[in-house]
């Protein structure tokens, strides 16, 4: 157990070392891509995300580099920074770090029918199925009420 604890602590130290080196690289004026390349890091891109970490359909953005898109600190930084401004290296939960550089901001807009056709058809089909199920349930309940009203009162029960 001591060995595994030491390995875990060494891994955390390595993460902090990389974060410090990345910060130093950015401090020399390197672009985010250049600073990351010097450390063999990959620059990930999260696109089309709103202030709440949701996509255009209102669904949470998932599978985003350790679910970074759900991190409130990441979202705050992404929306507070000016376009093409690189943040500092920021520590977040679980000894993780990130740097964010917003590259574009799209205006809010209504989507065309072509963009929502499949979702609209699926929602309409689901609503029809729910309406049919509700009608059937109401019919069954009505039949049960009528049936119970016509039954004579039951007698006493014994154990």
The domain segmentation of the chain, as residue ranges, is: 2-98, 111-152
CA angle 78, 49, 125 (to 5 degrees): 165
Percent of the chain clearing pLDDT 70 (strictly above): 90
Q: Which two tokens stand for residue 42?
A: 């990959």
Average pLDDT, the chain: 86
For residue 104, give every residue at least 6 positions away whose Cβ sits within 8 Å of its Cβ, in sequence order, or none.
Answer: 83
Residue 151 Cα distances to 55, 138, 139, 143, 147, angstroms: 56, 20, 19, 13, 7
68-98 tens-digit pLDDT = 888 899 999 999 999 999 999 999 888 889 9
The whole-number pLDDT of residue 151 equals: 63
Judge contact between 46 and 79, C-beta under 8 A: no
What whole-number distance in Å separates Cα of residue 73 and Cα of residue 93?
10
- Mean pLDDT calculated for residue range 129-147: 86
What whole-number distance in Å separates Cα of residue 73 and Cα of residue 86?
15
Task: Return the C-alpha torsion angle 123, 129, 133, 134, nearest 10.
Answer: 40
Look up residue 68 and give its DSSP letter.
Answer: G
- Mean pLDDT calculated for residue range 126-150: 85
The whole-number pLDDT of residue 134 equals: 95
Q: Which residue has the higher pLDDT, 145 or 3?
A: 3
The whole-number pLDDT of residue 55 equals: 85
The pLDDT of residue 135 is above 90 = yes
Of 52-56, 99-103, 141-145, 153-157, minimum mean pLDDT range: 153-157
The whole-number pLDDT of residue 22 equals: 93
What whole-number distance in Å separates Cα of residue 41 and Cα of residue 31?
13
The whole-number pLDDT of residue 156 equals: 65
C-alpha count within 13 angstroms, C-beta hemisphere, residue 113: 1
What whole-number distance in Å separates Cα of residue 148 and Cα of residue 141?
11
The whole-number pLDDT of residue 153 equals: 63
Is residue 25 very low, low, confident or very high in pLDDT (cuts 50, 70, 90)? Answer: very high
For residue 48, give every residue at least 6 positions away whose Cβ sits within 8 Å of its Cβ, in sequence order, or none.
Answer: 55, 56, 106
Of 110-114, 126-130, 155-159, minimum mean pLDDT range: 155-159
């Amino acid at each position: 157990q001591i060995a595994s604890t030491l390995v875990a602590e060494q891994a955390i130290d390595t993460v902090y070392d990389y974060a410090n080196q990345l910060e130093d690289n950015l401090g020399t004026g390197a672009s985010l891509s250049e600073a990351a390349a010097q450390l063999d890091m990959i620059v990930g891109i999260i696109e089309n995300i709103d202030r709440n970490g949701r996509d255009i359909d209102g669904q949470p953005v998932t599978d985003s580099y350790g679910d970074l898109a759900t991190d409130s600190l990441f979202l705050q930084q992404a929306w507070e920074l000016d376009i093409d401004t690189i943040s500092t290296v920021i520590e977040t939960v679980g000894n993780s770090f990130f740097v964010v550089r917003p590259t574009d901001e799209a205006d809010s807009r209504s989507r065309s029918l072509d963009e929502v056709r499949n979702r609209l058809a699926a929602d309409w089909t689901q609503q029809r199925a729910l309406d049919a199920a509700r009608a059937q349930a109401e019919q069954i309940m009505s039949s049960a009420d009528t049936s119970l009203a016509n039954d004579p009162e039951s007698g006493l029960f014994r154990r």
